[in-house]
Structure 1
Amino acid sequence: MKIALVAGGYIPAPPLSNSILTLMQEYKYFLDNLGYEVDIFNDKNVNEVIDKINKNNYDFVHLHAYQFVSQFNQSLKQKYCFSCHNGYFLKKDKWEEDFKQGFQHYLNAPGIIALSHPTKDVFLQAGYSGYISTQVNGIDTQKFDFKDQGNNKAICLGWIQPRKQQKLLAEIINGKIAIDFVGPLDDPDFVEGSTTKYLGVWSLKDVYSHLTNYSCLVLISDGEVAPLVVLEAMAAGLCVVVSESASANLHSKDFIRVLPDDILTNATAENQKIVCDTITDLIDKNRFLRQEIVEYVRGNFDFSQIIKTYIQIIDEFIKFYY
């Protein structure tokens, strides 16, 4: 079976990576090993991408770029599935104009592979009537180094930008908790403090090897769909403190704490104490939970597991239309 995976032309400069591309590359690796023939398309010229797909008779096409949906609906000669990775997808009041205009086109996509049940519900509540299923994001846990003990520090890994609220987090916990910030600096208002340090940008290889040195990942973002970094942290043995938006597909566990999206913007004295106490508590507990954390993420999000569901989705989609 020939499969085409389509991104929107993401070409990050080294050492930066792109989580959507990382995800697609993992799908290709695991599908190739099972005997499938997988091609990745990552070009900003949507017409060229469609032309190549139309000429090569793919059995299944999976689009990961919402800006391509309208053209795919018009010009692709076969049915395809679409996954939306927009961080504000679940918050309609934060949709940008191009996304608002595009949403009706998304409802006309032949198939949708939602990244979480809440994401699926948005499509269904809007009247979507095509094929729809849910597939969680996954990772290759074997790529992550693992140490039995962390360094009793927290880390906030990812683009430093207003949506992810690192500036607010740093202000609240500075002087109370040691936390390192890693990722491209895209918020001019972010500043270091006495215990809140900016370490620059890691490559994906650095993530695989360095993340396990820490005890807790913090991601209190006000908009996410299903962030890979949370799974990456757990694969390295870290506890996670996440906002509700960043908690998609996670279960109730001692090593996972979910806080309200607005706990940093509504920074009352009580909320500041909750944030600090929660992070401190999970740093303390991490030393006893690291092996359990890794076993959890391997059982629920490793590609060796989720690839089986993905193949079932492909089969269901083909039967649905053909």
Structure 2
Amino acid sequence: MKILLVGPGIMPIPSDGWGAVETLIWNQKIYCEALGHKVDILNKRGLVAALFAKPWSYDIVHVHFDPLAKFWNTLSVRLNFKLIVTSHYGYAAYPEKWHYGYQNIFKVLMKSERLMVLSEDILNVFRRNGYKGKIDVLSNGVEIQQFVFNKSALLKKAICLGRMEKRKRQVEVAQKISEKRNLVCDFVGPLNSLVFKTGNQYVNYLGEWDRATVHKNLTNYSCLILFSDGEAHPLVIVEAMAAGLSLVISKEASANLDLNLPWIYLCDTVDEVAEYAEKAITENDLYRAQIRKYAEENFDYAVIAQKYIQIIS
């Protein structure tokens, strides 16, 4: 097949830092090409760039940035090419949390002929609202072999890895952990506009890591904490599992996971985050090989790329 992947046009592809969507697009390209398909990337906006890319010459055009859906819907009708749109909006499965801008985007997505979504919960939102087009679910994937894996955690610590923002509730987690005297958590990621203060030895902000550092250092930790109040399918979850980490997560961050697994700790409150993080750190070494295997069997990009091709064929 001949596939055109359309990026947001905000960060470079591949990204060396915090572009989860950009990382996803790059991996789709690499792994689909390994299966024998031709994949190009358009990471520029505007009509001239779109026409120069000749989307009508592709079997599938896949847009990974929902604010562009209206433009590409119109273009696909006028130029007669097959289009898939994916929304990576963190609150896509939670209509009660949508901001006004996404409400308008959702109306556009409802008119799209074909969607690919990141979880069953997101699919159900579209179906409940009367979506009549073709819609498929495909989870995020991870390059398992890019992540160093140690059989035992070198640091008996938790880590919060991701952009520091209100939706991910790192400040609440930091405040609760600061009350504990036998629990240590490192925080890594861009600060965004949020003022993130730690102020004690139990909470440590390490700044930003590039991709190579994430690949190398994540395995040093025992568990990942992601107490977000809205996620589609967070890439950091599958990355943490690739590195052997247990998961201390909110229900909103649990898409596509088997919640019966003993190293996944689901938290309703920030108090439970602190409680389960202590347990996860203590027990992680018992499960690390299982965690890595689970990630490899279910989320390795070699697996995800095959599912992707089957869906779009």
TM over 0.5: yes
Q: AA paired with 1:75?
A: L
Cα contact 2:248–2:276 (8 A) shared by 1: yes
| Cα separation, partners in 2 of 1:175 and 1:66, compared to 1, 3 Å | same
Unaligned runs of 5+ in 2: none
Does structure 2 retain, via aligned residues, the 8 Å contact 1:15–1:201?
Answer: no
Mapped to 1, the partners of 2:96 and 2:46 lie a distance apart of 28
Residue 168 in structure 1 maps to residue 169 in structure 2 = no
Does 2:224 match 1:226?
no
Match of 2:223 in 1: 216
1:25-69 per-residue CA deviation (whole Å, 9 max, x = no partner) reads 1111111111111011112x2323431343660111111111111
Q: State which of 124, 141, 159 in structure 1 corresponds to 2:127.
A: 124
Partner of 2:188: 182
1:40 counterpart SS class: strand
Query: Which residue number corresponds to residue 288 of structure 2?
Result: 290
Q: Match of 1:16, as an amino acid?
A: G
Given candidates 97, 100, 105, the residue that maps to 2:100 is 97
Cα pair distance change 1:40/1:55, threshold 3 Å:
closer
Going from structure 1 to structure 2, the CA distance change for 1:102 and 1:188 (only over 3 Å counts) comes to closer
Structure 2 equivalent of residue 36 of structure 1:
37
1:265-284 correspondence to structure 2 within 5 Å: 272=271, 274-284=272-282
What is the alpha-carbon distance in structure 2 between the residues aligned to residue 244 and residue 152 of structure 1?
24
Measure the CA separation in 2 of the matches of 1:37 and 1:286: 41
Q: Greater shift after overlay, 175-184 or 50-59?
A: 50-59
Please name the residue that 1:200 is paired with. 207
Per the alignment, in what secondary structure is the counterpart of residue 245 of structure 1? helix
Q: What's the offset of the Cα at 1:114?
A: 1.2
CA contact (8 A) 1:164 1:223 kept: yes
The normalised TM-score by structure 2 is 0.93
Secondary structure, in 3 states, of the residue corresponding to 1:152? coil
Question: Identity over the aligned pairs, expressed in percent?
Answer: 37
Structure 1 counterpart SS, 2:191: coil
Report the Cα distance in structure 2 between the residues aligned to 1:187 and 1:289, rounded to whole angstroms.
37
Alignment of 1:243-262 (within 5 A): 243-251=250-258, 252-260=260-268
For residues 192-238 of structure 1, the C-alpha deviation after alignment (integer angstroms, 9 at most, x for no partner) is 12210000000011110000000000000011100000100010000
| CA distance 1:55–1:23, change in 2 (3 Å) | closer
- CA shift, 1:175, in A, is 4.5
Aligned partners of 1:55 and 1:129: how far apart in 2? 24
Q: TM-score of the superposition, structure 1-length normalised?
A: 0.91
Q: CA deviation at 1:91?
A: 2.1
Letter of the structure 2 residue corresponding to residue 27 of structure 1? Q
1:248–1:303 Cα change, 3 Å:
same
Q: RMSD of aligned C-alpha atoms?
A: 1.6
Q: Distance in 1 between matches of 2:194 and 2:230?
A: 19
Structure 1 gaps of 5+ residues are: 265-271, 316-322
Distance 2:238 2:164 in 1: 19
Per-residue CA distance 1:134-189 (angstroms, 9 max, x = gap): 11111110100011111110000000111111011000011521000000012544
Measure how far apart 1:94 and its partner are. Answer: 2.4
Q: Please give the secondary structure, in 2, of the residue aligned with 1:222.
A: coil
For 2:169, give the aligned amino acid.
Answer: Q
Cα 1:39–1:235 shift into 2, 3 Å: same
Residue 12 of structure 1 and its aligned partner are, at CA, apart by 6.4
